[in-house]
Amino acid sequence: MKLARNSSLWISAPIFLTAGLAALGSWYISGLALLGSIFMIFFHRDPDRLPLGDGMIAPADGRIIQVDQDRLIIFMGPCDVHVNRAPLDGLVTGVRHIKGGHRPAFLCQAGNNQQNRISMDTEEGGIELALITGTLVREIICYVSPGDRVIRGERIGMIRFGSRVEVTVPQSYRLVAKKGDRVRAGETVIAVKRS
């Protein structure tokens, strides 16, 4: 199983804790630590993905909780893959960290939480992604920097433990995804070019 970048500490710490507790004979507590280790491996998984068609693809796994005319919001639950991907080919023009609150990521007010905003120029115009933390660990790892060229489906970052991703849609595209749909990062087409 492929694991997300920068996840070795998060995975190895509970494994060492499990081994240490087992060596001390604390079987019940070491069993709980083992469950924590399994969760960490599951949470940090990073499967390879291929787009399932032409168009703009989902930048995150999860459920679509809001759709506006030119913006879509995806909530990532604890069982979703938390690695985020580029929805279109483009040039990263800006990465901006914004301090903020720590409300649950599924609430409307979570748009004011701590976040990284990634701006991109694409052939169809500019887009912006907001990688927004939730209430727990609140860590955003950004894999890209201004000046990087990315291809559709390429890994661009990760958010740990409860989060959401907002993405704008160029005017030349129309949304095909709807509120309530489940999507997969780097795979599900969320918008197609207007004819």
The residue from 37, 145, 163, 172 that is catalytic is: 163
Q: Give Dmax over CA atoms of the chain in angstroms.
A: 67
Helices 27-43, 8-23: axis angle to 10 degrees equals 170
Whether residue 52 contacts residue 189, with contact meaning beta carbons closer than 8 Å, is answered with: yes
Is 163 a catalytic site residue?
A: yes
Other CB atoms within 10 A of residue 184 CB: 17
Task: Say which residues have a Cβ less than 8 Å from residue 74's Cβ, sequence separation at least 6.
Answer: 58, 59, 60, 61, 62, 63, 64, 65, 164, 165, 166, 167, 183
Point out the residues that are catalytic.
163
